[in-house]
Structure 1
Amino acid sequence: MLKGSFDYLGLNYYTGNYAAHILSRSGNISSTTDNMVRLSTEIKGVPIGKPTGVSIFFVYPKGLHDLLVYTKERYNNPTIYITENGMGDSKNGTIKQAIEDPLRVYFYNGHLQAVHQAIK
């Protein structure tokens, strides 16, 4: 990034992925093939985190922590705003379950702790 070219960074974070380099592109160049990376949410059948109601999103607070620390160290501690963070839930449970929503509590608790650790 060009030094002094921004006032702050806005980061959107929902989940993490494992990444592996691929040696050649497929025939069609697109935003998902041009980077020559294979993304995955599991290794040897073990998911990166706890599943959510959206099949491609997992609870992975460490990814947010690592992104914040990398950005802080790489770009000389810029002002960062987390502009989006959340999880989808496709389940239609009871009203009581929706109010208690333990998975969402788990999600936000983990992500807030990750932010707190990255600030230290």
Structure 2
Amino acid sequence: MGKQDTCVAYMTPIAMARWRGASQSEGTTIQGYLNRPRPTLEEVKKQLQNKKEGSKALTEFEEKMKQIWTKELKNNKEKALSGNVSSYKRKERTKKKKKKSCQYTSKEKYIKSYSKK
């Protein structure tokens, strides 16, 4: 039986890269970037003006929401003002009731509790 050949040819990675040739890069290149079509100054000005104006649908929506909110604010304001007088009177009544129920001072409470013992 003869010996088996175990010699393997070895190539350096640099040599293999040169042998394959120049790699085709994916994506844009510098040359492609420089040669792309560019807008004129007038087109840029139009785009900027359109950005400042905004969309018509958005402005209409904002105006509609503003009207709705103003109506709601008016209604809430009227309710608050109309109910304000009665709520003020209620507060005054509750304050008077609390004063009547808490007429004893802390000393009087202490004396009463001491006298019970």
Q: Do they fold alike, i.e. is TM over 0.5? A: no
Hey, which of these two has a bigger chunk of helix by percent?
2
**Bigger radius of gyration:** 2
State the structure with bigger RCO (CA 8 A, min sep 6), 1 or 2. 1
TMscore range, shorter length: under 0.3
